[in-house]
Amino acid sequence: MTETNEPFFSVHDLVVRYDRVLAVREVSLACPAGSAIALIGANGAGKTSTLRAITGLVRPAGGEIRLEGTRIDGLAPAAIAACGITMVPEGRHVFPLMTVRDNLMMGAYLRRDAPAIRADLARLLDRFPRLAERINQQAGTLSGGEQEMVVVARALMARPRLLLLDEPSLGLAPKIVADIAGLILSIIRDDKVSVVLVEQNSRMALRLSHHAYVLETGRIALSGPSALLAEDDHVRRLYLGAME
């Protein structure tokens, strides 16, 4: 079924509607394997709604979502997760009363390969020494930056093929934001995971991604290679805070 020109992951004419409000209108995206795309735009532009539709948390009102050519729109969230799509939702959704270890193990909920799960856990704890120190602590008692690490590490425990990151830098101190940016870069480069990054921090998003889409009131206003968009007047003025 997969044609040679079919991208690894694609969204075609996606429509998301909440009651009578149109949140996303005819958004199309494409993400080649191993690539990172960014969605940037103001609050309420439809970025989060797009991600929630991809993961099945909301049912799309129209359009098609394909992973390796197979349609996944309309599937239940658990089925979409089983396809290898994982999202780090906005606002650090840790399981607050579970320990850090149980949180990470929940990431591997759909996996049955116990030895590989243990090996992945050990590797991630090497990568996040902060979490190793707090492995038996309740996740709800961690700082914001640590909770962000928990949810990213939890997502990696799923061994995702496509990772959706929703506002990973939101509400974090600048120093932590830099850490998170480095982490995302290493997920793209070293783990070879395809990434869809949603960020209000447009500068960071454009720096980390290969291709970017600018969403305005539910539509794609502009798209192109991230490096080019970073030079675009409209983008610079509206999203990068450049003076006219």
Partner 1 sequence: MAQILIDGSVLSASYALIALGITLIFSIMRLLNFAHGELFMIGAFMVYYVYGAWHLPFVLGLLIAALVPALIGACFEKFLFRRVMRVATREENSMLLAVGTAILLDNVALFLFGEEQHGVPETISGVLQIAGGFLPYQRLVVVVMSLALIALLLGFVQFSRPGRAMRALAQDRDAALLMGVDVDRTSMLGFAIGAGLAGLAGGLLVTIQGVNAGIGVDISIKAFIMIMIGGAGVVSGALLGALVLGFAESIGYSALPGSETYLLIFVALVLFLIIRPQGIMGHPWG
Length of the chain: 244
| Least CB distance to partner 1 at residue 55 (A) | 6
Spell 226-235 as b/e; 16+ CB within 10 A means b.
beebbebeeb
Cβ(215)–Cβ(27) under 8 Å?
yes
User: Following DSSP, what letter does each residue of 111-179 receive, concatenated?
Assistant: ---HHHHHHHHHHHHHH-HHHHHTTTSBGGGS-HHHHHHHHHHHHHHT--SEEEEE-TTTT--HHHHHH
Sole window of 29-37, 97-105, 118-126, 218-226 interacting with partner 1 (rule: CB under 8 A): 97-105
Cβ distance to partner 1 smaller for residue 1 or 114: 114
Residues 137-166 that bind partner 1 (CB under 8 A): 151, 154, 158
Cβ distance to partner 1 smaller for residue 110 or 242: 110
Sole window of 9-17, 20-28, 104-112, 183-191 interacting with partner 1 (rule: CB under 8 A): 104-112
Q: Which of 12, 17, 93, 210 binds partner 1 (CB under 8 A)?
A: 93
Sole window of 32-40, 61-69, 80-88, 180-188 interacting with partner 1 (rule: CB under 8 A): 80-88
| Least CB distance to partner 1 at residue 198 (A) | 14
**Residues touching partner 1, count (CB under 8 A):** 26
Of the candidates 92, 17, 93, which has an alpha carbon nearest to the alpha carbon of residue 53? 17
